[in-house]
Amino acid sequence: MTSTHVTIIGAGLGGLTLARVLHVRGIPATVYEAEASPTARAQGGLLDIHEHDGQLALKEAGLFDEFRGLVLEGGEATRVLDRNGTVLFEEADDGTGGRPEVPRGELRQLLLGSLPPGTVRWGHKVSGTRTLDDGRHEVTFADGTALTTGLLVGADGAWSRVRPLLSDATPTYTGMSFVETYLFDSDTRHPAHAKTVGGGAMFALAPGKGLGAHRERGGTLHTYVMLPGPQDWFAGIDLTDPAAATARIVQELEDWAPELTALITDSETAPVLRTLNTLPVGHRWDRVPGVTLIGDAAHLSIPNGEGANLAMYDGAELARAIAAHPDDVETALAEYEEAMFPRGAAAAAEGVRIHDVLYGDNAPHSLVDMFNGHA
């Protein structure tokens, strides 16, 4: 056991996994989160948790059996369509896959419930960080309060306020954004839409753009539209007028099958816009005493199904390193970063490759080839 207290910024999956594995190892930690409460906002859709990283992290956290109880049965079913609605590939979920789907919010709640009361301090939005003369780090919050710590971990995502202590890198826009919509109780209220999506994940693709959907718990259909364009183009979509915003988005899919665009036009929620940003592939920094990063704060990349898994694995590996060197924090951080940098670089490079498979000149056939083992 070590007397080192770990200060974690960000109560996402990575930060909570770090706190949980530290707790299991008898190491105290406090997590500071900008959101006002665990229910302050929706936590996104489904995550496929992989055997080689996310599941290993949950085993390290002693939560694997509980995680299995969250798995959405049938969620690994997959189908690929072209813009005309023709099914080019379909695979059922036979229960033997290594990437079970779970709702992000339920997984986050599992991690939160595994921590001692008071571990997470809600409503603490970080406004800045700086290194003090004694080598410790000061964290200032938006309410004017501050703390100092000898071991600071940035688990605060793409726009990390901890990252500037280590790196000048900032996320850059990829040239694509996506829009999210939802349909609820689809088997009863939207059977045609449910039939289009199928039992798990559906990908409808064309070069440069795509429409994807997941069947979530309770028959919820969660749809994502991926579109290219400059940020100011998307900024010009008035999301306060959902009908007009939806109509403008669907204009970009005007030659697509109506059963596909209906997933957008019939949405029961206003469209939510999310821009895709990345850090440079291979982002790294020189060792700075007493501070490091995990997850998107360290290696934000094009989405490829690895983001949450890597964040959780980073958290578990950092906790393991701290526990292995209880009296030598610098050795622990150096050991963690030495393994994390190539891991993050490989995932980012794979994200670039998958992005081309999904939206490159040969889409959707490139994805069909990948699923068939030809790519």
pLDDT confidence tier of residue 119, bands split at 50, 70 and 90:
very high
* Cβ-contact 76, 48 below 8 angstroms: yes
Across the range 191-209, mean pLDDT stands at 95
Helix, strand, coil share (%) of the chain residues, nearest 5: 35, 25, 40
pLDDT of 50-59, one tens digit each? 999 999 999 9
pLDDT confidence tier of residue 238, bands split at 50, 70 and 90:
confident
Domain boundary among 278, 313, 343: 278
* Cβ-contact 1, 26 below 8 angstroms: yes
In a domain, 82, yes or no: no
Check whether 240 has a pLDDT greater than 70.
yes
Q: Are residues 118 and 25 part of one domain?
A: yes
Q: Are residues 105 and 38 part of one domain?
A: yes
In a domain, 369, yes or no: no
Q: Are residues 272 and 124 part of one domain?
A: no
In a domain, 91, yes or no: no
Domain of 186? 172-278
Handedness of CA 33, 35, 40, 44 (dihedral sign): negative
User: Measuring CA to CA, which residue among 344, 321, 351 is closest to residue 153?
Assistant: 321
Domain boundary among 254, 278, 302: 278
Q: Are residues 162 and 205 part of one domain?
A: no
* Cβ-contact 300, 351 below 8 angstroms: no
Q: Are residues 156 and 40 part of one domain?
A: yes
pLDDT for res 374: 65
* 328 vs 76: which has the higher pLDDT: 328
- Both tokens of residue 355? 């992005």
pLDDT of 213-234, one tens digit each? 999 999 999 999 999 988 888 8
Q: Are residues 35 and 114 part of one domain?
A: yes
pTM of the model: 0.94
Q: Are residues 179 and 225 part of one domain?
A: yes
Domain boundary among 262, 278, 294: 278
Q: Which CATH number do you get for residue 37?
A: 3.50.50.60
| String of DSSP letters for 203-244 | EEEETTEEEEEEE-GGG-EEEEEEEE--HHHHHTS-TTSHHH
Stated as kind and residue range, the H or E segment containing 106 is: helix 104-113
In a domain, 42, yes or no: yes
